[in-house]
Amino acid sequence: MSNTCPDCGVSVGELHKDYCDVERCPRCGDQYYSCDCTIEQLTNLKRIPWSGEWPGKAECREYGFYSKKASGKGWIPCGKEEDGATEDLNRLEIECIWNIELQRWVMPNAKEQS
């Protein structure tokens, strides 16, 4: 965990500065400054403040999504106990669904359990 956002430098609990690479869109979960959501779609949704860790890492740990770099193979799935293991954010976005109400990635079968 980090007390400040690695891109825009805000403290935990503060809203990210404009064009921060780390801030997530509250509607779709993608990068806030570059997603395709419209102003109308974002009406009544609160921006997500810096939590102290990269968005999605907590969900990766919860769901057991880890990968490591393998020579000549790129990134491969692995267990969290393996050397070089890191949270697999790519798998998270492929296999999970953004839940607007919870402001987090959820497993597809958990979508209705908000």
Predicted confidence at residue 112, as pLDDT, reads: 52
The Cα–Cα gap between 49 and 27 comes to 14
How far is residue 37 from each of residues 6, 20, 30, 46, 106, measured CA to CA in Å? 24, 16, 10, 14, 20
Predicted confidence at residue 99, as pLDDT, reads: 95
Confidence band, pLDDT 50/70/90 cuts, at residue 114:
very low
Predicted confidence at residue 110, as pLDDT, reads: 63
Residue 111 has pLDDT above 70, yes or no: no
Reported as a single tens digit per residue, the pLDDT across 18-67 is 999 999 999 999 999 999 999 999 999 999 999 999 999 999 999 999 99
The mean pLDDT of the chain is 93
Output DSSP code: residue 69: E
- The percentage of residues in the chain with a pLDDT greater than 70, rounded to a whole number, is 95
Confidence band, pLDDT 50/70/90 cuts, at residue 81:
very high
The Cα–Cα gap between 2 and 94 comes to 26
**Bridge partners for 87 per DSSP:** 66
